[in-house]
Amino acid sequence: MAKSARRSARQSASGQEPDSARGNGGELHQIAGGETPTLTTALGTPVSDDQNTLRIGERGPALIEDSHFREKIFHFDHERIPERVVHARGYGAHGYFETYESLAKYTRADIFQRAGEKTPAFVRFSTVAGNKGSFDLARDVRGFAVKLYTREGNWDLVGNNIPVFFIQDAIKFPDLIHAAKQEPDRAFPQAQTAHDNFWDFISLMPESMHMVMWIMSDRAIPRSFRFMQGFGVHTFRLVNAKDESTFVKFIWKPKLGMQSVVWNEAVKINGADPDFHRRDLWDAIQSGNFPEWELTVQLFDQAFADSFDFDILDATKIIPEEVLEPIPVGRLVLDRMPDNFFAETEQVAFMTQNVPPGIDFSNDPLLQGRNFSYLDTQLKRLGSPNFTHLPINAPKCPFAHFQQDGHMAMRNPVGRANYEPNSWGLGPREDPQRGFRSFADAEDGQKVRLRAESFADHYSQARQFFNSQTPPEQRHIAMALTFELSKVQAPAIRERMVSHLLNIDETLATTVADKLGIRNMPDPAEAAVPTRDDLPPSPALSIIENGPDSFKGRKVGVLLSNGTDPALFEELRSAIETEGAVMEVIAPKVGGVDAADGTHIEARHMIDGGPSVLFDAVVLLLSEEGAEMLLDEAAAKDFVSDAFAHCKFIGFTAAAQPLLAKAGVAPDADEGLIGLDTAGSVKTFIEACRKLRLWARETAVKL
């Protein structure tokens, strides 16, 4: 009996090849030599039975002597490490940075010396507020942390997809994060700021108003990591070989242009595919469509800083691109997924203070505080000061120092001397020429706890941001504020927020107040300095104004039925591929459909597993019989009505019209509905898709 139980356990375990045998592409591959290695303990002892614990008799008690069992369970019990206190949910990829031209005039940073040089990189994108297991389409800031393994040490540019921050001084960071995360007594809401504590704190912190405009904008619901910008946020310094300093702001710009989703879509994506952003990055890289960003820099000197409207040390302010043009200096390409999520993406440790010689800090009080926080957090999270020994964190250039021992030390100094200076002539020595030298800025002043007067304008750039948005984007901001504040239960907090909005844009404030049902408009919040209305709109701040000019990298969902037109299907597939976009087939059954000529077409999704929110545009390639069959399927109706409501372009065959009608969509409702039965119409459809969305429809569908 024992024998047969063991056998059946083995059979089911070997029904499928173990996951460790899966390659990056998910394909099963042969283990070298075609032989299955013997299972061993962590210390290499071969294991004879991994199905049954050691026990006395067939039905007797387990024995503590079973060291294989104890080791296995002990290790499992210790698999988790603390998640990041912020940015817990993230997804990373490897790649490289390629320098365009030498920037030696401005910096001695080795990475910027030689045109065409490639530097290995690892990037981790993240949401901020949600826990590790939360969903991807939270309305939230996205982390954009880049580790560059330069020849003179690792450079971590730990940025976000938004160029400003909520607070000016790092001392308020714990308060901000406590307020944003789930409330401490009830432990919800998770991964969202739509609750009293967040808006209570924010409405008591006028300095956050510029950031509020950004997080209520479409920037906070990106369509993909691949379509978002990244910002170093702070003013940094570049320092050249003559020790001359130039101020710099870093901006990453996606080659595929920017794109976001709409809120109603985001809510549905979170249900349909909580891993939407991860899957997107994984799919793109695995299929060889490597995402790319251009690194641009805004360079300026002290004279510019002195004459600029705002303090360049204030992280709640930007320098508009129209005022100071960003110069492209290199490109970042992500071309490889980690082999193991935990080893790399989870254990990667980013630290703002990691800068190589030639890059230095400004006195931005937020940056100065961050430089303290990141080292500390890695010790807590990774458990040992030797986290730099982990391959993902170790530099890829030669390094030598006298740090030794500690938990999990994998490298220790060799030889007799573990101190400096020594007269044995052993070990590394400092190099005043090559070594990192802080920029010798002259500082004096009293020791005080003060916020500079030059940080006092909290509304002017918030207003400028709002004025720089297109009408649909302005509408989205109003709707986002309404949604978030509608979840706030204390009326006083809602009103306090409206009092701030009055300082930004009166129409915005009254729209939000009206939707919230606030009867008596509050007075505008007291502003420390007058709010400026002479800042010109900055078109660079709009996503819609800066969209791509092609449909490249986007995804079309094609709903098929039995009896579909195979020639039209092929024409569509070829046009989508030529555009550099991706087509995914959705069918009533995931097994696929039989086209009119009997050819079988495989499907990627079954209709209720492939809702239209997962695609940038959709096509209904149905036969009459197919459309008829789908009329009773709620998922098919939602597929159409959601695509329409989310302003997507919809291609359709004449036979699909009953399904359009069932979803309440007239086939000639607007130019976003494109019949595909006439010659040349596939081309028309692809050309239309390059606009990404038909925003003109939005006022009709009242999203």
Binding segment for ligand HDD among 241-249, 372-380, 441-449, 606-614 (CB under 6 A)? 372-380
Q: Going by C-beta distance under 8 Å and a sequence separation of 6 or more, which residues neighbour residue 600?
A: 592, 593, 594
Chain centroid to CA 173: 21
Binding segment for ligand HDD among 49-57, 370-378, 553-561, 662-670 (CB under 6 A)? 370-378
Under rule CB under 6 A, residue 165 binds ligand HDD: yes
- Rounded CA gap, 275 and 423, in Å? 58
Nearer to ligand HDD, 368 or 546 (CB): 368
Do the annotations mark residue 22 as ligand-binding? no
Under rule CB under 6 A, residue 384 binds ligand HDD: no
Least distance from C-beta 366 to ligand HDD, angstroms? 5
Among 131, 264, 377, 510, binds ligand HDD (CB under 6 A): 377
Nearer to ligand HDD, 237 or 496 (CB): 237
Do the annotations mark residue 370 as ligand-binding? yes
- Rounded CA gap, 148 and 118, in Å? 10
Which residue shows structure tokens 């981790």? 124
Under rule CB under 6 A, residue 213 binds ligand HDD: no
Here the tokens at position 316 are 């709640």
Residues 584-613 that bind ligand HDD (CB under 6 A): none
Under rule CB under 6 A, residue 366 binds ligand HDD: yes
| 418 counts as catalytic | no
Under rule CB under 6 A, residue 126 binds ligand HDD: yes
- Choosing from 68, 87, 277, 646, the catalytic residue is 87
Nearer to ligand HDD, 295 or 614 (CB): 295
State the DSSP code for 426. Answer: -
- Choosing from 68, 154, 160, 195, the catalytic residue is 160
Residues 10-39 as b/e (b if ≥16 CB within 10 A, e otherwise) read: eeeeeeeeeeeeeeeeeeeeeeeeeeeeee
CA-closest candidate to residue 260, choices 228, 223, 311: 223
Under rule CB under 6 A, residue 147 binds ligand HDD: no
Nearer to ligand HDD, 124 or 277 (CB): 124
Number of residues binding to ligand HDD, judged by CB under 6 A: 25
Binding segment for ligand HDD among 362-370, 469-477, 529-537, 685-693 (CB under 6 A)? 362-370
Under rule CB under 6 A, residue 369 binds ligand HDD: yes
Q: What is the DSSP string of 470-527?
A: -HHHHHHHHHHHHHHHHT---HHHHHHHHHHHHHH-HHHHHHHHHHHT--SPPPPPPP
Three-state secondary-structure class, residue 237 = strand
Among 9, 85, 527, 596, binds ligand HDD (CB under 6 A): 85
Amino acid at the residue 464: Q
Among 89, 124, 237, 555, binds ligand HDD (CB under 6 A): 124
- Rounded CA gap, 224 and 217, in Å? 15
Under rule CB under 6 A, residue 358 binds ligand HDD: no
Under rule CB under 6 A, residue 341 binds ligand HDD: no
Under rule CB under 6 A, residue 392 binds ligand HDD: no
Among 68, 84, 181, 555, binds ligand HDD (CB under 6 A): 84
Nearer to ligand HDD, 86 or 560 (CB): 86
Amino acid at the residue 302: Q
- H or E element that contains 276: helix 276-286
259 neighbors 223 (Cβ within 8 angstroms): yes
Do the annotations mark residue 381 as ligand-binding? yes
Binding segment for ligand HDD among 69-77, 152-160, 524-532, 692-700 (CB under 6 A)? 152-160
Here the tokens at position 415 are 């030889």
Which residue number is nearest to ligand HDD in terms of Cβ? Answer: 143
Least distance from C-beta 276 to ligand HDD, angstroms? 18
- DSSP lists the bridge partners of residue 556 as 583, 617
CA-closest candidate to residue 224, choices 288, 129, 292: 292
Other beta carbons within 10 Å of 414: 9
Under rule CB under 6 A, residue 87 binds ligand HDD: yes
- Rounded CA gap, 69 and 50, in Å? 8
Do the annotations mark residue 124 as ligand-binding? yes
Binding segment for ligand HDD among 108-116, 371-379, 426-434, 614-622 (CB under 6 A)? 371-379
| 75 counts as catalytic | no
CA-closest candidate to residue 141, choices 255, 233, 265: 233
State the DSSP code for 343. Answer: I
Nearer to ligand HDD, 227 or 639 (CB): 227
Nearer to ligand HDD, 369 or 524 (CB): 369
Sign of CA dihedral 309, 313, 315, 320: positive
State the DSSP code for 46. Answer: B
**Would you tell me which residues interact with ligand HDD (CB under 6 A)?**
84-87, 90, 124, 126, 143, 145, 158-160, 165, 170, 173, 233, 315, 348, 350, 366, 369-370, 373-374, 377
The residues carrying an active-site annotation are 87, 160
Per the annotation, binding residues for heme are 84, 124, 173, 370, 374, 381
